[in-house]
């Protein structure tokens, strides 16, 4: 286990890629402030905010004040076109400049980005990037690989360099959202091809080019930040969850929820989280040694979504390419000493 570094707070319903308008009461500012204070002794140094339309969240001043009191950096993450308005709202709430902005782009040009997002969103995303440059805020560009933007991978890297981004991160679209978005989801073989191309491109650019942990990896035990206790993830319901990547419109079987922070303290919840992570990794190792892993389980996030019942969108249409029992993916992975 590594030291806890980041606390993820989903202040309102919704995650990047979910084009709907999910309803529900936002995370109470008082609870968020209490969690920030409780996170300091656990080693939390950064708080990252998630959710839709956070510029309208009523308790931004409480969160800004709590981060200031604990000397924690406040980070923003989400759809690129929402980041500029949120940064301005935080400044009005008394926050200092963000410690970082993780800006999601859908493509390298206005036509592609707006097609995959909303009209006018590319220009607003560029406003957010300009804000980062003017305020000297570290900027990460995140790109979810989709069939519609596949041809613009190199151009996105060039755009990120022109925007003075610190790094560009390529990832799968969120599996918890998946086909719910109504857009084609790249099949596994295409994702592997994209990964090989990115591994070639990253050698040709000075800019840091990262591949998200959700892509296919040889690591059996899973080494993401959440499963190493580097991140704590609290959803808009005030629940500590195993990982923020599991947030989305498909609640699955609910077993990724660790504790209700309305009822227990953060240290108590983290104690349960450690036990859950230990059990989870033991089960993963057991599945591997017994031949219980399917080839798609090499996609880190895929295994977790399958484990927690969040792949119902794979039962129909193009999503069937990711179905756990898809033809060609039902053969068990070889056990230790028998890797293909």
pLDDT tens readout for residues 284-302? 999 889 988 888 888 888 8
Distance of CA 258 to the CA centre of its chain: 18
d(CA 290, CA 299) in angstroms, rounded, equals 19
d(CA 111, CA 104) in angstroms, rounded, equals 15
Q: Using 50, 70 and 90 to split pLDDT, how confident is the model at 82? A: very high
Higher-confidence position of 278 and 222: 278
pLDDT tens readout for residues 98-138? 999 999 999 999 999 999 888 999 999 999 999 999 999 99
Structure token pair of residue 198? 């990115």
pLDDT tens readout for residues 145-169? 888 898 999 999 999 999 999 999 9
pLDDT at residue number 294: 83
Domain 6-279 in this protein, CATH class: alpha beta
- Residue 240's SS3 state is strand
Does the structure show a pLDDT above 50 at 74? yes
């Amino acid at each position: 286990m590594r030291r806890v570094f980041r606390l993820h707070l989903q202040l309102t319903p919704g995650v990047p890629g979910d084009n709907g308008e999910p309803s529900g009461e936002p995370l109470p500012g008082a609870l968020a402030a209490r969690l920030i204070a409780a996170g300091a002794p656990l080693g939390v140094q950064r708080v990252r905010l998630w959710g839709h339309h956070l510029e309208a969240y009523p308790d931004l001043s409480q969160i800004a004040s709590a981060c200031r009191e604990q000397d924690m950096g406040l980070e923003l993450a989400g759809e690129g076109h929402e980041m500029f308005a949120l940064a301005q709202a935080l400044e009005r709430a008394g926050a200092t400049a963000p410690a970082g902005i993780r800006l999601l782009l859908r493509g390298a040009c206005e036509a592609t980005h707006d097609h995959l997002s909303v009209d006018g969103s590319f220009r607003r995303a560029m406003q957010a990037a300009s804000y980062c440059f003017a305020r000297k805020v570290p900027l990460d560009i995140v790109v979810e690989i989709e069939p519609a933007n596949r041809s613009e991978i190199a151009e996105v890297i060039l755009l990120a360099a022109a925007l003075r981004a610190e790094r560009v991160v390529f990832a799968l679209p969120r599996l918890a959202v998946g086909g719910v978005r109504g857009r084609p989801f790249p099949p596994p073989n295409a994702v592997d091809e994209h990964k090989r191309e990115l591994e070639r491109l990253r050698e040709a650019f000075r800019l840091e080019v990262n591949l998200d942990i959700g892509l296919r990896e040889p690591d059996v035990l899973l080494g993401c930040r959440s499963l190493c206790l580097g991140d704590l993830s609290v959803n808009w319901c005030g629940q500590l969850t195993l990982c923020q990547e599991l947030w989305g419109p498909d609640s699955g079987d609910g077993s990724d929820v660790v504790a209700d922070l309305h009822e227990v303290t953060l240290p108590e919840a983290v104690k349960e989280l450690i036990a859950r992570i230990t059990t989870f990794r033991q089960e993963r190792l057991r599945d591997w040694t017994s031949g219980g892993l399917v080839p798609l389980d090499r996609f880190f996030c895929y295994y977790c979504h399958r484990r927690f019942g969040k792949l119902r969108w794979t039962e129909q249409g193009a999503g069937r390419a990711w179905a756990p029992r898809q033809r060609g993916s039902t053969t068990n992975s070889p056990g230790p000493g028998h890797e293909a």
